[in-house]
A = this chain, B = another copy of it.
Amino acid sequence: MSKITIVDIAKMSGVAVSTVSRVLNGHPDVGQKTRERILKVIKETGYVPNDSARNLKRTDAKCIGVLIKGITNPFFSPVIDIIEKEIDRQKYALILRHASADDDEADVALELENEKRLRGIIFLGGGAEQSADKLRQLKVPVVFSTIGSSVIDEKDMADFSTVSVDDRLEAKHITQYLMNLGHKDIAIITEAMGRRSVGHLRLEGYKDAFIERDMPVREDMIFYVDQNMEHFSIANGYRTTQRILSSGHKVTAVFCVTDLLAVGAMRAISDAGLRIPEDISVCGFDGMEIGRYYNPRLTTIKQPLDQISRETVKLLFDIIESRSSHRHIVFPGELSIGESTIKRYED
């Protein structure tokens, strides 16, 4: 039983391939009886059109590609959900593609572009990094979502759009919040990646807060996650916090650049027999659902993912329909105060 094609269907229905094709694509100009006959044969044989061949010929196709780096990150789940709905509302199809850690996202994007007939691409996670040149070869507009413009070279600003919060600024805010609670010995758990990673941006914001108050930035309070495991994972937060606790440094608050890290941190602190927030305050960044359900509730910077997602799609379509050129939209984050932070006790 070799694979069955449109030709077979045509033969079995006693019509020409073009007629079958018309039925397949919902063209109106085909007789009622002929249509039914063909449909019947299709159902019986279980024929499925070959998408490759289709895309090879097709000119239209209303598709938006969504490229996501590391499907593993639950942070993107709500974003994808909303983007999917929004694209649907525009009567477009969404093609979700995942790039594994070692894939070059730009390559995947280029592949996707001429494999399907895309009208636009949304990037979730990852970052432009070096591959901006490759990305520029894309013929369809690119919007980075939840990724700030600071991860992009200035010269690329006109070629891509970004929709996000200001990672650096918001990180400064939450650090200041901790300071206002009286904390001085504030450790940070972050990622040691390139200058354009969110980890680095949020670290910069942390530093900004100290610098603005003329307080020294203590390098021994900066803890980098284990490179050998998933960077922004609960487990890594746990392990890194253990390093903090055994470092001997006095620490009254920990800023985790990610909610997931914070969850791990809280568990590690509890396991060490310390109380949150009485002994150590913990805060995160992102505003993930789990933070609102954890015990204690996590203080964090809530990203307005709803707005970000919606605006991402809206902006993309504005560009596709040339109602707008590339823009860089920044939404304010919201300090969401939970039960994981408290005034520092005077000693």
Chain A contacts with B in 106-124, Cβ cutoff 8 A:
107, 110-111, 113-115
Residues B289 and A107 in contact, CB atoms below 8 Å apart: no
Residues A290 and B234 in contact, CB atoms below 8 Å apart: yes
Chain A contacts with B in 274-329, Cβ cutoff 8 A:
289-290, 293-296
A73-81, A206-214, A242-250 - the one binding chain B: A73-81
Instruction: List residues of chain B with CB within 8 A of the CB of A267.
Output: 293-295
Shortest Cβ distance from A84 into B: residue: B100
Q: Give bound CA distance, A147 to B84, whole Å.
A: 26
Shortest Cβ distance from A276 into B: residue: B295
Known: A74-B74, A294-B294. Is A289-B235 also a contact (CB below 8 A)? yes
Shortest Cβ distance from A238 into B: residue: B293
Instruction: List residues of chain B with CB within 8 A of the CB of A77.
Output: 71-72, 74
Residues B114 and A46 in contact, CB atoms below 8 Å apart: no
For the complex, count residues of A whose C-beta is within 8 A of B. Answer: 46
Shortest Cβ distance from A230 into B: residue: B81
Residues A98 and B96 in contact, CB atoms below 8 Å apart: yes
A55: CB under 8 A from chain B?
A: yes
Q: Give bound CA distance, A290 to B266, whole Å.
A: 12
Shortest Cβ distance from A3 into B: residue: B114
A50: CB under 8 A from chain B?
A: yes
A157: CB under 8 A from chain B?
A: no
A272: CB under 8 A from chain B?
A: no
Chain A contacts with B in 148-184, Cβ cutoff 8 A:
none
Q: Give bound CA distance, A263 to B289, whole Å.
A: 11
Distance (Å) between the CB of A116 and the closest chain B CB?
A: 8
Shortest Cβ distance from A113 into B: residue: B48
Q: Report A's interface with B, CB cutoff 8 A.
A: 1, 3, 46, 48, 50-56, 71-72, 74, 77, 80-81, 84, 94, 96, 98, 100, 107, 110-111, 113-115, 133-134, 137, 139, 234-235, 238, 263-264, 266-267, 270, 289-290, 293-296
Some 30 contacts from A to B, beta carbons below 8 A apart, are A1-B139, A3-B114, A46-B137, A48-B107, A48-B111, A48-B113, A50-B56, A50-B114, A51-B52, A51-B114, A52-B52, A52-B54, A53-B56, A71-B71, A71-B77, A71-B80, A71-B96, A72-B80, A72-B81, A74-B77, A94-B100, A234-B289, A263-B293, A264-B293, A266-B293, A267-B294, A267-B295, A294-B294, A295-B295, A295-B296
- Those 7 A-B pairs whose CB atoms lie nearest each other, nearest first: A46-B137, A52-B52, A51-B115, A48-B110, A74-B74, A267-B293, A52-B55
Beyond A52-B114, A234-B290, A263-B293, list 7 extra A-B contacts (CB 8 Å).
Answer: A3-B139, A50-B115, A71-B80, A71-B96, A238-B293, A267-B293, A294-B294
